[in-house]
């Protein structure tokens, strides 16, 4: 796990034949968030992005729209950026500027 901007994150994970972590369900996101908090990590890039600039945030793995139940209060707010960030406190997703450095976790592509 390293700190880097989201734009670079996709290349980092791709270079090691993995993808940026994707969390489809609230239960899984809570488990990941709890583990990250134990590691002292409070923000993490996840594999979602406004890929086509259509204000539709999708998972990079399959293009599915990210579930409304995973977003933090008031999100997604596209004025803040086009990339998706997991805020571990509260286990919720937020939009952030893709060039802001945060941690990344790569996973094997399923």
Please identify, in words, the CATH class of the domain defined by 2-107.
alpha beta
Report, as an integer, the average pLDDT of 33-58.
86
What pTM did the predictor assign?
Answer: 0.84
Give me the residue spans of the domains in the chain.
2-107
Between CA 32 and CA 40, with CA 38 as vertex, the angle to 5 degrees is 105
Q: Tell me, what's the pLDDT at 4?
A: 56
- What letter would DSSP give residue 97? -
Q: What is the pLDDT of residues 73-103, one digit of tens each?
A: 999 887 778 889 999 999 999 998 888 888 8
Q: Element (H or E) spanning 45, and its range?
A: strand 43-49
Residue 64 scores a pLDDT above 70: yes
For residue 58 the two structure tokens come to 């999708």
């Amino acid at each position: 796990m390293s700190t880097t901007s989201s734009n670079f994150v996709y290349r980092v994970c791709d270079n090691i034949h993995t993808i940026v972590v994707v969390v489809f369900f609230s239960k899984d996101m809570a488990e990941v968030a709890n583990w990250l908090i134990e590691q002292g990590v409070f923000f993490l890039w996840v594999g979602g992005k406004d890929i086509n600039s259509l204000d539709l945030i999708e998972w990079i793995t399959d293009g599915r729209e990210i579930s409304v139940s995973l977003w933090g209060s008031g999100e997604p707010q596209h004025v803040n950026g086009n990339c998706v960030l997991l805020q571990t406190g509260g286990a919720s997703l937020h939009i952030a500027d893709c060039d802001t450095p945060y941690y990344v976790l790569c996973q094997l592509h399923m």
